[in-house]
Amino acid sequence: MVKKHKKVSPIQYAVIPNQVFLGIPWKTVRPKYEGIVDKLKKTFPISFVIVGRDDNQDAEDLLEVIKKRLLSSSHAIFDATGGNANVSLEFGLRMPRTFHARYVSVHGASEEGLKESPIIADLAGKKQNRYSQTDGLEKLLRQFCPGPRVHQAS
């Protein structure tokens, strides 16, 4: 007798307006993003989400956190600097859904000494927004910031 398996529906997450998931290489460009994100959060009503692994967290727990944050974000940015495999995974998790995404391409400094393109194959054909300096990255991130600006007390 063959057992019938029930089809399991994927978990649905409520989308949080003005939340932008940042799929970025943890070691190489994260500090640049964090500095810009801190600056933009003071001016605009926006939340940028960067997910990293806690010291005592196993890979399965991390994957669940990534899925929850990614699928609940109204926008996503994927930075393939250095050909990071985790960024490719995050991009793949988000692809089946309709969403607003921006693919930020390789930071120029990471290309030095590479014979091949560091872009992962599943990202290579996507529209790219290149940046080479922190100012260029900030300009790209500002495109996700809704108006009006947050008023700060003097």
Task: Summarize pLDDT for 56-88 with one digit per residue, the tens.
Answer: 777 788 889 899 999 999 888 888 777 778 888
Residue 3, both tokens: 């057992």
Give domain 16-142's CATH architecture.
3-Layer(aba) Sandwich (3.40)
In the 8-state DSSP scheme, what is residue 7? P
Kindly write down the DSSP assignment for every residue of 75-87, as one continuous string: EEEEE-GGG-HHH
Residue pair 129/105 in contact (Cβ under 8 Å)? The answer is yes
Judge contact between 23 and 77, C-beta under 8 A. yes
Report which of residues 107 and 78 the model is more confident about. 78
CB distance 153 to 43 below 8 Å: no
| pTM confidence score | 0.76
